[in-house]
């Protein structure tokens, strides 16, 4: 049966979704950035990871496997963690690989270097 409510215990959500799933999503985001893939690849991997997180909820915490609301909430958390890992790595890559073009302006951002006129 498909459950349309968010019925997870807070401790299960924190441990499985935030700690395990969020940590894995962060690493997936870094891996996608290192291989110079784009955001569509990251989203595809995070949807697969969300399926695994839902299965862990089902297997260990006895939650409903097909719970669309829980799936969507978990996916939002995984996208946030994966996006953070992706952006951190991409900012480091851009500023390290193209130092004559870009400079790092923060942990998540970079900017184009100003051209100096002779």
* Whether 89 contacts 107, CB under 8 Å: no
Quick: pLDDT tens for 68-77. 999 999 999 9
pTM of the full predicted structure? Answer: 0.88
| pLDDT mean over 13-34 | 96
* Whether 103 contacts 92, CB under 8 Å: no
pLDDT of residue 8: 72
Q: Average pLDDT, whole number, for the chain?
A: 91
Give 7's pLDDT tier (boundaries 50, 70, 90): low
What angle, 0 to 180 degrees and rounded to 10, lies between the N-to-C axes of helices 39-61 and 68-97?
140
3-class secondary structure, 105:
coil
- Min mean pLDDT across 37-41, 63-67, 94-98 is at 63-67
Compute the distance between CA of residue 32 and CA of residue 51 in angstroms, rounded to an integer: 18
pLDDT of residue 5: 57
């Amino acid at each position: 049966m498909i459950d349309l409510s968010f019925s997870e215990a807070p401790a299960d959500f924190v441990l499985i979704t935030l700690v395990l799933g969020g940590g894995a999503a962060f690493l997936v985001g870094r891996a996608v950035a290192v291989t110079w893939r784009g955001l569509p690849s990251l989203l595809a991997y995070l949807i697969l990871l969300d399926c695994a997180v839902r299965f862990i909820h089902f297997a260990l915490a006895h939650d409903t496997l097909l719970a669309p609301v829980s799936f969507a909430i978990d996916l939002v958390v995984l996208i946030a963690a994966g996006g953070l890992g992706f952006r951190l790595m991409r900012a480091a890559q851009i500023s390290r690989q193209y130092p004559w073009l870009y400079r790092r302006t923060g942990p998540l951002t970079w900017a184009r270097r100003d051209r100096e006129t002779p």
